[in-house]
Amino acid sequence: MDVALYEPGAGYYRRAGPRIGYGPGTDFLTATASAPIFGKVVAAACGRILGPETAAQSQFVEIGAEPGVGVLRGVPHPFKSVRQVGIGEPLRIEGPSVVFSNELFDAQPFRRFRFRDGSWRELGVSVGPGALAEVELDPGDLGPAPFPASASEGYVIDAPLASAALARRIAEEPWSGLFLALDYGKSWEEIAFETPAGTARAYHGHSQGNDLLERPGEQDLTCHVCWDWIAEALRDSGFAEPRLESQEAFFTLHSGEFLSAVTASEAGRMSREKLSILQLLHPAHMGQKFQAMWAMRPVVGSTADSHRLQA
């Protein structure tokens, strides 16, 4: 997973060229395809949660954006400053901040486990002559939540351990303010008991597949985030109780005034901005598929060492 996604010169997220959007060579869509309206609703929501005075004192830090394509690029905003932290760049966040990500955590490597003959077995990959093959490994550490003592034969758990570790590194940095992650995920209960085939899939050319070993380095590999683990990482670092809302509910609640203004100004016609809002909010599009986890930390904790954002 680490090599296929992040190895310099070989990994999917290290290669040059477009990955997101509608053009040739792209593989999937994210909310950034609805720019600039996406950035406007994000800025409106964060500004409302923080309040104008705190927003004006805060830097907006976006983690994991595609190079040169920040969510607030060219968008008016209420923040003191805006910066992006890319893959492999120092993850250093200090002072009043909004720490934002869009589909960052689902893009981290995960570990795959299968229940067979009464026990959990971790799955790995062997490199053979001209081919990759799935192999079973000793399970080792099973992660921050106990796996079920038993499961149906062949039950698969795709455990997003790297995403939980990344959330913990972000939370340990010496900053205060708003954490906001837009992503798709499930509770540990759902992952452990309601998804017998796992949640991992591959994307290539806007087609979804289940062969994770096909086209190594040329296709996106992803699985659902475990929101319980992200929330635990935030709580452990002094954040108030994290809130999880559908993307539809989050933007409707916290960007409502902005959305109403756009709708009123474009009354009587289906403009590009209204179509973009529909894509972001409608349950049949991104409104229910994606969730927003957000939390506030009013007081900076102890100083943490500088880390790097990498898988």
| pLDDT at residue 186, as a whole number | 96
Concatenated DSSP letters for 165-192?
HHHHHHHHSSEEEEEEEEE-EE-HHHHH
Q: Residue 23 burial by CB count (10 A; 0-12/13-18/19+): exposed, middle or buried?
A: exposed
| pLDDT at residue 304, as a whole number | 36
Checking if the pLDDT of 131 tops 50, the result is yes
Q: How confident is the model at residue 288 (pLDDT cuts 50, 70, 90)?
A: low
Tell me 32's DSSP state: G
- Half-sphere exposure at residue 184, Cβ-oriented, CA atoms within 13 angstroms: 14
Point out the least confidently predicted range of 17-21, 159-163, 273-277, 292-296. Answer: 17-21
Q: What helix, strand, coil percent values describe the chain, rounded to 5?
A: 30, 30, 45
pLDDT in tens, 212-232: 998 888 888 999 999 999 999
Q: How confident is the model at residue 282 (pLDDT cuts 50, 70, 90)?
A: low
Query: Which whole number is the average pLDDT over 244-269?
Result: 82
| pLDDT at residue 141, as a whole number | 65
pLDDT in tens, 245-254: 998 889 889 9
Sheet strands (E) in the chain: 59-63, 81-85, 90-91, 95-102, 111-116, 119-128, 131-137, 156-159, 175-183, 185-186, 201-204, 207-209, 220-222, 225-226, 243-246, 291-297, 307-308
d(CA 294, CA 73) in angstroms, rounded, equals 22
Checking if the pLDDT of 302 tops 60, the result is no
What's the CATH number for 2-303? 3.40.50.12710
pLDDT in tens, 79-124: 999 999 988 788 999 999 999 999 999 999 999 999 999 989 999 9
Question: Hey, what's the torsion of the CAs at 273, 275, 280, 283, to 10 degrees?
Answer: 150
Tell me 12's DSSP state: G
Checking if the pLDDT of 43 tops 80, the result is yes
Say which residues have a Cβ less than 8 Å from residue 261's Cβ, sequence separation at least 6. none
Query: Which whole number is the average pLDDT over 64-76?
Result: 84
- Are the beta carbons of 188 and 229 closer than 8 angstroms? yes
Tell me 3's DSSP state: H
Predicted TM-score (pTM) of this structure: 0.86
- Are the beta carbons of 87 and 6 closer than 8 angstroms? yes
The residues pairing with 295 across neighbouring beta strands, listed in sequence order, are 179
Highest mean pLDDT among 31-40, 78-87, 258-267: 78-87
Checking if the pLDDT of 267 tops 80, the result is no
Residue 252: Cβ within 10 Å count: 16
| pLDDT at residue 305, as a whole number | 37
Secondary structure class of 293 (helix, strand, coil):
strand
Checking if the pLDDT of 194 tops 50, the result is yes
| pLDDT at residue 265, as a whole number | 66
The residues pairing with 121 across neighbouring beta strands, listed in sequence order, are 114
Q: How confident is the model at residue 234 (pLDDT cuts 50, 70, 90)?
A: very high
